[in-house]
Structure 1
């Protein structure tokens, strides 16, 4: 067994089979052994590292000292915010133990409650967001129905026909909003789980371009694709990556005028694949750039809603990018266009 000492593991083999992470610290707060789950979660190089370099949480470090000084087990919540949010319940048991016989050693049991925490938070956020975003289309539909049912249009068929397209449009808007909310909620719950399937980034991007080509041509916008023949293999979720590129290309199309160009590129660099989509559209004011990936944030609410936007597309992109351990950057000049770049790690 590689993760615990051979002598200790003869008596404690069950620890290596636990789903929870188990980390044992010596009196210097350095990792002297850990189970397979801990190595999988925090990396194979944690052996010998100080716990403060693995879990940067002040409450955890304080609770370790309290456990040692009082010789009593401590229970503490741990929140990791970067690179992705994670939430643990930690049981800190003071030593010595069969795994580390030093007087000031501790054994830490970490239970991952990230998905439960996110689910609870999502429920409260969902109610607040949906109640706000659905109010306007619901009011439009209700007004139309009241006018047709017992208002001035109750006996006027021509006026009724004028209300029906508006009601249908608002219904479609509500449907898009609900679909995006469900997609966002699912990816937020799974954001800390990195995909393990091998995908071809070039194939996915070309597939998305082909799907959107006719729609873009109708607006008389030209796509320039610069993807050299090369191998673009990475670990990823194909359906989620399609969501990224669809949202970014649609975003470029939505905010571009006729007779402009959308440039799409994919470059094979030393350690990364660099994807870029650049438009010549309206651009984003500098003051709004830090907020552009917030859910329901819109620079121009009227234009976004007229174009069928839900205000969730870039929030979805951000979380999928995080899940793939990639990084995204946004460069924009108001009135001159916007460029989204994503650095995907190679296999």
Structure 2
């Protein structure tokens, strides 16, 4: 309750607040120490470690074999991710199927490919031409009509793509399923009420909203796939970036410079993919980050006196501190 002094003086007006910035000296000290450590590490790499052999790095950075290996790595990444995304969407839909057999098959697929290391899976795919030497087509329990040699039909490049794609599809299925579940069920019900079919509901209502959740982890999976291609040597496929640098290092006996060359190429391609991921996220996040402006007061905030205190007919009572108190009656909201 606001009160006034007996002399009728108005309360003092609001005063501006002078904020004093809180100092954090230890942050500056910590940042300085980090800069010194990084500078010492870079100096040591440049001048005190001949094993890095930077001239060798420059010599093979744009070598034809390295560039060709980077191209194979990029192909493995793109082809595997395309197959993984298509298969992952199918498995995500199967997981939500009311048919228990279909849902169980999808669950077993996820359990198998997420529960075993990708390197082990690639080794098995490399052994497919040995396990299944031929692919026979025909009527069961009769003589084969067509018999194909597995080694001629499936190259190591194809087997590497299949192994990477099947493993990645298990993770993409969970990403897509999480995106679909993030959309409110009311969106689906509203689409049905408007007479939209399943395809139009998914393509025009559900998926555009789910993409906001799907894109970020999918971008991470693409970057992860780029680095996972270094494991295709288990198939064995040795024409990728990691395989080519290893072949060159086996001849020059300079493994460290060649590892630096491969790392620089991986970093370059990863940086490009991160830029693409940023713009994709920005595109599918349109309208999500927009929020209405905070409503501002129409009048300046100031001290407000109690209604009726300046009226001489309003009875007041003295308080122990020398102030006058306005009773609750004869005021808006008060008693009679």
TM-score normalised per structure 1: 0.21
Of structures 1 and 2, the one with the larger relative CO (CA 8 A, separation 6+) is 2
